[in-house]
Amino acid sequence: MYKKSLLALSVAVVAAVGLSACSGGSSNASSGGDNKTLTLAATTNEKPALDAVVAKFKEQNPGVDVKYTTSALDQYQTTTRTQLSSGTAPDVVFVWPGDGNPMATRVVAKAGFLEDLSSQSWANSFPAGIKPVTQSNGKTYSAAVTFSGIGAVYNMTAMKQAGLTPPTTWSGLLQFCSDAKSKGKAAFELGAQTNWVTQLIPYALTPSLVYGPNPNFAQDMTDKKATFSDSKWSDAFNKYLEMQKAGCFQANPLGTDYNASLSAVAKGDALSVIQVNSAVAAISTQAPKGTELNMLPVPATENAADTRMAGAAGSTYGVNAKAKNKDLAIKFVNFLESPDGMNLYAQTNKALPAVPNDSFKVDAALSTLQDYQKAGKTDPFMDQNWPNARVQQTLFQVVQDLLAGKTDTASALKQMDTAYTSGS
């Protein structure tokens, strides 16, 4: 998603207002040049993990300072891409795996903005599902640190108080929505005012509806053998609307942003939220002590055995080709790719390491995601294989229009097809 942006996600991402500076509060993220001061920029949801790994990196490298900024997804993509173009970007930048948005690995690598990292010892260590999205034209340009997923994050404490259990079939999901509503709760809080959040429900449903049944669907689209319109993406959009009609969401999802949606789940006003796994960490910091959370797949069919999850490379970093402190930047990225750095990052951000290792202790809330990863029941965030950033941006808009009653499924998918074929 991501690209959350997913995702994208995605994948992964948090909406916040303004730009926050850390470790010294420097507003000039490209200052330095002495190989003693590293500059770095990332999205807001990476801050807890960055706080932890930066502290550890500085501990292992006395005399080194790290100045980093974090900002909301939209602001980050616009600002950092502009800085890369003007030669003023930080030494290390957060990038998305694969394709699909202005700061995705292949997009910025093809523009000449990223350092070739193919010679680093970790470059060939990624699993088969992750390695391709760290590369462009066969060369490695980004370092994937985590494996991320999309699912329903349940407040299990609130669920138990309401006497409800997570659904495992589509009909069970609709019944769960009805039961939650009768308890005065939203089954799934939806922060659709934040545009990237709109993609997460389709991303949660299409692994079971589209990409699992046809593992070659992404390639079929590349080869012009498939389209959004003539696929089960239509089922995903229709089910999204069915959830809205069934009262699965709170009263005004288009007036609710990302932060408010997590707060509602933390308080127990809503029972769950369909989000990327980093939401587990964000909800945990707000919820009462002892609150139990669990991230589970979102069923899309009547056969629970067919349910799959979206799972892919998550937090990913690249080295600015014009970095003022390139050696230090590569040293930091190498630390992120070490078992100690990768595990610390993943544990702090409630994710899984991009390269599985025996020393990592999975958070209980993510045990199901890990099980699905091991069982091969995950599919990459969809935008990581899209040819341009316009497809995802179009997805954001058409979903908001669907929820507002301004368009229908056929028109929405046609717009996505147009964006897909509009070039790279």
Tens of pLDDT, residue by residue over 112-163, are 999 999 999 999 999 887 999 999 999 999 999 999 999 999 999 999 999 9
**Residue in the structure block whose two tokens are 């990038």:** 95
Model-wide pTM > 0.85: no
What is the dihedral sign for C-alpha 27, 28, 32, 35?
positive
User: Could you read off the pLDDT of 361-375 as tens digits, one per residue?
Assistant: 999 999 999 999 888
Question: What pLDDT is attached to residue 8?
Answer: 38
Among residues 265, 253, 329, the alpha carbon closest in space to that of 291 is found at 265
Q: Quick one: pLDDT at residue 424?
A: 66
Structure tokens at 58: 């500085």
What is the predicted pLDDT for the residue at 33?
67
Of 309, 345, 305, give the one whose Cα is nearest residue 169.
305
pLDDT of residue 129: 79
- Enumerate domains of the chain plus CATH numbers: 19-148+312-375 (3.40.190.10), 150-311 (3.40.190.10)
- What's the one-letter identity of residue 248? C
What local confidence, expressed as pLDDT, does residue 18 receive?
Answer: 33
Nearest to 112 by CA among 330, 329, 423, 321: 321
Which residue from 372, 412, 48, 368 is spatially nearest to 198, judged by alpha carbons? 412
The span from the CA of 371 to the CA of 368, in Å, is 5
pLDDT attached to residue 68: 96
Residues of the chain predicted below pLDDT 50: 2-32
User: Within a 10 A sphere around the Cβ of 255, how many other Cβ atoms?
Assistant: 11
Q: What does the pLDDT read at residue 181?
A: 98
Q: What is the pLDDT of residues 215-247, one digit of tens each?
A: 999 999 999 999 999 999 999 999 999 999 999
Three-state DSSP class for residue 313: strand
What local confidence, expressed as pLDDT, does residue 381 receive? 92
